[in-house]
């Protein structure tokens, strides 16, 4: 089983990129990305490598000795002020001066690497005389505890005293015990690095303390959290108070004054001396002097107000970024923005990882499951997937999943669709059937636009859905609407089974509906019914009169022969299948088509599949919703109905917009719910469209589909080949492929080029198309691209099975890729002696390049593949000739070019691997 590099990296606790590098070093080729897969052999090789190198975290083969364990210190919880170096202009100028003096008098610390930051930082604050300086009360708070003694005894180092803790420490480390140091109280610092060994400590040069006082430490606020700023604030107030006189103390509104006389007030009253002044400097000092000035001017006046507004509000500096999370709960697929918000990492970081993987994305781009996993692995985030629960799921699940009681179920009319080759008589037969009904007086005039109607035969009702062809029938299936219960395959007795008959059979079989054959035009003289029956047998429909299980009814739309029998047969098949529904529930069904009609608004032709639809019902269908205003008969435009039961087609008005053909409709209780569902669908539809639409299975993605799937999967294939012999040979080869987890189902195998119908069928059945020695026509190619259907071309039979086998094992490696350049039609040929045949061509699409190769297509079949020898445009050599222009092409080694031949020009190139391709590498 292949394993992705990033998964293995995760397992080995390595960086994906590191593992990619190791792959390169070990000679494991083609693993340029963390998404690349590794075979079992490669995985073992890598694991062996890491085992050999001692530890996976040292892929270079240099095992690192584990750092000595330092006894764990309990870290106090809560906010830790990070100490940053103050700026010169800060009001701490005086303080800094004192600190420097203190630093000079204090011996350089020889503590461990995580200590010097905090220890000296606190020192200056304690440098006030006898520990009674302005900071003393702040720093004496229990919040500040010396390192190495957190949670234990406060390691107070009194000036001139002996610090027992430190002496002990010094003995251990071999450094000189320190004496006469000022009292130092330190805040605990979370330990982020392992301390160096004692040996390292000895050798380590004594460093100057790195003093950092953070902005937070200087900011005013609640005194408990910001000691320095609180101190400064108090200091200013002291000065103010002093200036205003002993008895006149100005209180700043909102400012708290400590009740205790030991605080700043006590000090102020005790006489703030001039030594306090240098504690302030820079901007604050200037502001203060201005304030004092004003105070002096206004003292005693009534309009006096403290000049608080002179101080600029300081920025809080609070980060608004979401905190980074270790575990992320996400619903996939998600956008870059959603991932970044959920994980609390900057989107730019996510985009950078994507870029490193060669994926250029934007904030709103959807990232698929694998990439999301990769990003999570790169960021060390644990990804937890949430089940997608849409509004629709919540509201409609109960309706959809509601199982009807057996007792509530009643028989419903079967829904019949007529399929078959063009001009074999589908419309004529249906017209005739309705004529019968008209004759019986049960239905009125026939409108040719009607595509769904119900008739009665011997008191039993039958509903017909007259889709224009099997493609429309399949189109409906592609949208998940299998409205048809029984398919009537119309085969003209004179023509027999034709290409479109074969297609129709495939479509009906893929839909897994019973087929009844109407062998039509039996009135024609000299028709060979046996030949038609033979054709049906060859295509897997063995007539019942030949011992098979397919009912073949001989009909004539002209004479009306066999029509009753056809209807009887259909009703019998329906009885066998027991189509039932519960008319006593809210209606659900499918929209067949919808259009905007002048005067009536949106008119949707719908078929009720279960329940009963009534006028006034709230209805939601795809991205449309509304209340049923009126219901009309599908044959008689003015015939109104109040309700429509199961299997009844009706024209409905009341939708806000025209729902799409094939969309399911549901009746809800609340119009607000209907609106919510319609809007949420419209949103998700837009999202899907932006992310490139639905992706069908491809041989490259087949393996991914199999991974993690519990049930046996089916790989649906539509085969097109040049001759029937090829089909038989390929069928035989495919039959040999036996995989426990995958069943290969050949939905259709026919001769000729790939058509739009094939693509529609592949779209509806999630199939891949294999073209053997044939190509896809222009429309089919465009449709396949639009629908995301894979069309693979082969010229060697065993290569097909080889590729499928490789795809099943997840090892399909397209090293070379054919890039289609353009197509040119041969309009004239010129034979030039000693040169050969020159084809005068017109470029139909794309462009023709001189370094390309051309496949020669004659009658939809590839007859050869040759490199372009010469490309001329108006007598001069050309490198490239674009669409719409004429040119002369001489092929190397092929002179039998004929007018009407098509050159399909392509080039083979080693393409830089796209994401999908890299999945299988």
Give min distance, CB of 555 to ligand GTP, in A: 6
Distance CA(436)–CA(563), nearest Å, equals 9
- Count, residues near ligand GTP per rule CB under 6 A: 15
Q: Which of 322, 397, 524, 819 binds ligand GTP (CB under 6 A)?
A: 524
466 is in an annotated binding site: yes
Distance CA(801)–CA(659), nearest Å, equals 42
Interface stretch with ligand GTP, choices 18-26, 550-558, 637-645, 817-825 (CB under 6 A)? 550-558
Interface stretch with ligand GTP, choices 480-488, 516-524, 583-591, 887-895 (CB under 6 A)? 516-524
Question: Which of 607, 647, 611 lies closest to 456 in space, CA to CA?
Answer: 647
Closer to ligand GTP by CB, 1 or 422: give it: 422
Give min distance, CB of 421 to ligand GTP, in A: 7
Closer to ligand GTP by CB, 118 or 553: give it: 553
150: DSSP letter: T
577 is in an annotated binding site: no
Q: Does 496 bind ligand GTP (CB under 6 A)?
A: no
Closer to ligand GTP by CB, 367 or 465: give it: 465
Interface stretch with ligand GTP, choices 155-163, 438-446, 555-563, 830-838 (CB under 6 A)? 555-563
Distance CA(419)–CA(109), nearest Å, equals 93
Question: Which of 674, 681, 683, 638 lies closest to 656 in space, CA to CA?
Answer: 674
Closer to ligand GTP by CB, 377 or 566: give it: 566
Closer to ligand GTP by CB, 487 or 658: give it: 487
688 is in an annotated binding site: no
Closer to ligand GTP by CB, 223 or 555: give it: 555
Interface stretch with ligand GTP, choices 517-525, 581-589, 694-702, 833-841 (CB under 6 A)? 517-525
Distance CA(809)–CA(811), nearest Å, equals 5
Question: Which of 589, 595, 718, 726 lies closest to 655 in space, CA to CA?
Answer: 595
673 is in an annotated binding site: no
Give min distance, CB of 560 to ligand GTP, in A: 9
The answer to whether 425 and 432 are in contact (CB under 8 A) is no
Residue 823: both structure tokens together? 């197509």
B/e letters for 795-824, b = 16+ CB within 10 Å, e = fewer, are: eebeebbebbebbbbbebebeeeeeebbbb
Q: Which of 137, 520, 610, 657 binds ligand GTP (CB under 6 A)?
A: 520
Give min distance, CB of 428 to ligand GTP, in A: 3
615 is in an annotated binding site: no
Closer to ligand GTP by CB, 211 or 430: give it: 430
Phi, psi (deg, nearest 5) at residue 855: -95, 135
Distance CA(634)–CA(446), nearest Å, equals 10
184: DSSP letter: -
469 is in an annotated binding site: yes
Closer to ligand GTP by CB, 508 or 557: give it: 557
Give min distance, CB of 30 to ligand GTP, in A: 51
598: DSSP letter: T
Query: How distant is the alpha carbon of residue 335 from its chain centre?
Result: 7
Q: Does 427 bind ligand GTP (CB under 6 A)?
A: yes
Torsion of CA 599, 601, 606, 610, to 10 degrees: -110
Q: Does 564 bind ligand GTP (CB under 6 A)?
A: no
Question: Which of 246, 247, 215, 239 lies closest to 290 in space, CA to CA?
Answer: 239
Contact partners, residue 689, CB within 8 Å, separation at least 6: none
Q: Does 558 bind ligand GTP (CB under 6 A)?
A: yes
Q: Does 356 bind ligand GTP (CB under 6 A)?
A: no
Q: Does 521 bind ligand GTP (CB under 6 A)?
A: yes
Torsion of CA 30, 35, 41, 42, to 10 degrees: 60
Q: Does 878 bind ligand GTP (CB under 6 A)?
A: no
Interface stretch with ligand GTP, choices 82-90, 533-541, 552-560, 820-828 (CB under 6 A)? 552-560
30 is in an annotated binding site: no
Q: Does 33 bind ligand GTP (CB under 6 A)?
A: no
Q: Does 488 bind ligand GTP (CB under 6 A)?
A: no
Closer to ligand GTP by CB, 528 or 899: give it: 528
Give the nearest residue (CB) to ligand GTP.
425
Give min distance, CB of 467 to ligand GTP, in A: 11
Residue 396: both structure tokens together? 């409609």
Q: Does 883 bind ligand GTP (CB under 6 A)?
A: no
426 is in an annotated binding site: yes
Q: Does 428 bind ligand GTP (CB under 6 A)?
A: yes
Residue 10: both structure tokens together? 């995760």
What angle, 0 to 180 degrees and rounded to 10, lies between the N-to-C axes of helices 282-298 and 227-244? 30
Q: Compute and round to an integer the Cα radius of gyration of the chain.
A: 42
The answer to whether 592 and 483 are in contact (CB under 8 A) is yes
The answer to whether 175 and 110 are in contact (CB under 8 A) is yes
Give min distance, CB of 883 to ligand GTP, in A: 33
423 is in an annotated binding site: yes
SS3 201: helix
Torsion of CA 304, 309, 311, 313, to 10 degrees: 150
Distance CA(755)–CA(783), nearest Å, equals 9
Phi, psi (deg, nearest 5) at residue 801: -65, -35
> Tokens 């219960």, residue?
485
Distance CA(616)–CA(628), nearest Å, equals 5
Q: Which of 112, 137, 417, 556 binds ligand GTP (CB under 6 A)?
A: 556
* DSSP β-ladder status, 3-4 and 791-794: unpaired
294 is in an annotated binding site: no
Q: Does 233 bind ligand GTP (CB under 6 A)?
A: no
538 is in an annotated binding site: no
With 0-12 / 13-18 / 19 or more C-beta atoms within 10 angstroms meaning exposed / middle / buried, residue 786 is exposed
> Tokens 């330990």, residue?
191
Q: Does 554 bind ligand GTP (CB under 6 A)?
A: no
Closer to ligand GTP by CB, 116 or 425: give it: 425
Considering only residues 395 to 424 of the shown chain, the ones binding ligand GTP according to CB under 6 A are 420, 422-424
685 is in an annotated binding site: no
151 is in an annotated binding site: no
Closer to ligand GTP by CB, 175 or 556: give it: 556
Closer to ligand GTP by CB, 426 or 853: give it: 426
> Tokens 């690497």, residue?
113
Q: Which of 426, 451, 457, 470 binds ligand GTP (CB under 6 A)?
A: 426
Give min distance, CB of 495 to ligand GTP, in A: 10
Q: Does 557 bind ligand GTP (CB under 6 A)?
A: yes
Q: Report the interface residues with ligand GTP, using CB under 6 A.
A: 420, 422-428, 520-521, 523-524, 556-558
Q: Which residues are annotated binding-site positions for GTP?
A: 420-427, 466-470, 520-523
Q: Which residues are annotated binding-site positions?
A: 420-427, 466-470, 520-523
């Amino acid at each position: 089983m292949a394993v992705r590099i990033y998964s293995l990296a995760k397992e080995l606790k390595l960086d994906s990129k590191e593992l990619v590098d190791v792959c390169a070093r070990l000679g494991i080729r083609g693993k340029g990305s963390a998404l690349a897969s590794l075979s079992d052999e490669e995985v073992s090789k890598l694991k062996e490598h890491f085992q050999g190198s001692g530890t996976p975290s040292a892929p270079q083969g240099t095992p690192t000795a584990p750092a000595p364990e330092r006894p764990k210190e309990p870290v106090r919880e809560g906010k830790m002020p990070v100490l940053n170096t103050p700026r010169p202009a800060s009001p701490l100028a005086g303080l800094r001066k004192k600190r420097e003096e203190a630093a000079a008098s204090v011996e350089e610390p020889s503590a461990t690497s995580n200590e010097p930051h905090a220890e000296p930082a606190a020192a200056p604050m304690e440098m006030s005389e006898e520990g009674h300086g302005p900071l003393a009360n702040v720093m004496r708070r229990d919040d500040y505890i010396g390192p190495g003694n957190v949670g234990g005894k406060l390691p107070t180092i009194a000036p001139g005293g002996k610090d027992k803790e430190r002496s002990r420490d010094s003995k251990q480390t071999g450094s000189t015990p320190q004496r006469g140091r000022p009292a130092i109280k330190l805040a605990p610092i979370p330990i982020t690095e392992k301390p160096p060994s004692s040996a390292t400590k000895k050798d380590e040069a004594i460093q100057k303390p790195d003093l950092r006082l953070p902005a937070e430490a200087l900011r005013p606020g609640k005194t408990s959290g910001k000691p320095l700023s609180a101190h400064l604030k108090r200091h200013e107030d002291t000065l103010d108070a002093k200036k205003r006189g002993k008895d006149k103390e100005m209180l700043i509104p909102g400012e708290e004054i400590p009740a205790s006389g030991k605080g700043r007030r006590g000090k102020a009253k005790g006489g703030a001396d001039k030594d306090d002044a240098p504690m302030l400097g820079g901007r604050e000092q200037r502001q203060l002097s201005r304030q004092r000035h004003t105070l002096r001017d206004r003292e005693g006046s009534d309009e006096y107000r403290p000049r608080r507004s002179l101080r600029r509000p300081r920025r809080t500096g609070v980060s608004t970024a979401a905190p980074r999370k270790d575990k992320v709960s996400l619903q996939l697929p998600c956008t870059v923005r959603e991932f970044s918000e959920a994980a609390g990492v900057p989107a730019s970081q996510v985009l950078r990882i994507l870029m490193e993987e060669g994926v250029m994305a934007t904030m709103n781009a959807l990232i698929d499951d694998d990439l999301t996993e990769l990003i999570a692995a790169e960021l060390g985030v644990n990804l937890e997937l949430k089940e997608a629960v849409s509004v629709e799921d919540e509201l409609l699940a109960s309706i959809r999943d509601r199982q009807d009681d057996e007792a509530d179920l009643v028989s419903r009319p079967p829904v019949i669709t007529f399929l078959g080759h063009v001009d074999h008589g589908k419309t004529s037969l249906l017209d005739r059937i309705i004529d019968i009904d008209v004759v019986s007086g049960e239905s009125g005039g026939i409108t040719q636009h009607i595509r769904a109607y119900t008739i009665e035969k011997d008191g039993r009702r039958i509903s017909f859905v007259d889709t224009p062809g099997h493609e429309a029938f399949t189109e409906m299936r592609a949208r998940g609407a299998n409205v048809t219960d029984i398919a009537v395959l119309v085969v003209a007795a004179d023509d027999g089974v034709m290409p479109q008959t074969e297609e129709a059979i495939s479509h009906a079989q893929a839909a897994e509906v019973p087929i009844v054959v109407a062998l039509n035009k039996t009135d024609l003289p000299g028709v060979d019914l046996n030949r038609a029956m033979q054709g049906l047998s060859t295509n897997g429909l063995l007539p019942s009169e030949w011992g098979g299980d397919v009912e073949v009814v001989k009909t004539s739309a002209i004479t009306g022969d066999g029509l009753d029998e056809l209807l009887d047969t259909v009703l019998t098949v329906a009885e066998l299948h027991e189509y039932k529904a519960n008319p006593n529930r809210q209606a659900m069904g499918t929209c067949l088509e919808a259009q905007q009609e002048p005067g009536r608004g949106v008119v949707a032709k719908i078929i009720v599949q279960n329940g009963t639809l009534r006028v006034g019902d709230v209805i939601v269908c795809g991205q449309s919703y509304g209340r049923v205003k009126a219901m009309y008969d599908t044959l008689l435009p003015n015939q109104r109905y109040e309700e429509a039961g199961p299997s009844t087609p009706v024209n409905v008005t009341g939708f806000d917009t025209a729902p799409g053909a094939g969309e399911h409709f549901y009746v809800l209780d609340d119009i607000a719910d209907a609106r919510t569902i319609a809007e949420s669908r419209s949103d998700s539809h837009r999202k899907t469209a932006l992310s490139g639409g639905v992706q069908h299975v491809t041989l490259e993605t087949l393996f991914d589909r199999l991974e993690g799937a519990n049930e046996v999967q089916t790989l649906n294939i539509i085969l097109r080949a040049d001759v029937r012999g090829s089909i038989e040979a390929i069928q035989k080869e495919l039959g040999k492929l036996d995989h426990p987890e995958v069943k290969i189902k050949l939905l259709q195998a026919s001769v000729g080029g790939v058509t739009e119908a094939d693509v529609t069928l592949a779209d509806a059945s999630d199939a891949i198309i294999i073209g053997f020695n044939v190509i896809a026509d222009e429309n089919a190619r465009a449709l396949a691209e639009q629908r995301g259907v894979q069309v693979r071309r082969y010229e060697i039979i065993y290569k097909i099975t080889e590729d499928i086998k490789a795809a099943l094992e997840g090892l399909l490696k397209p090293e070379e890729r054919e890039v289609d350049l353009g197509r040119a039609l041969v309009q004239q040929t010129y034979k030039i002696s000693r040169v050969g045949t020159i084809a005068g061509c017109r470029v139909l699409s794309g462009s023709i390049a001189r370094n390309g190769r051309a496949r020669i297509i004659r009658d939809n079949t590839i007859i050869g593949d040759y490199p372009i020898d010469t490309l001329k445009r108006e007598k001069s050599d050309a490198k490239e000739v674009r669409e719409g222009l004429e040119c002369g092409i001489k092929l190397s080694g092929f002179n039998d070019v004929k007018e009407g031949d098509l050159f399909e020009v392509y080039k083979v190139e080693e393409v830089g691997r796209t994401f999908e391709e890299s999945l299988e590498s």
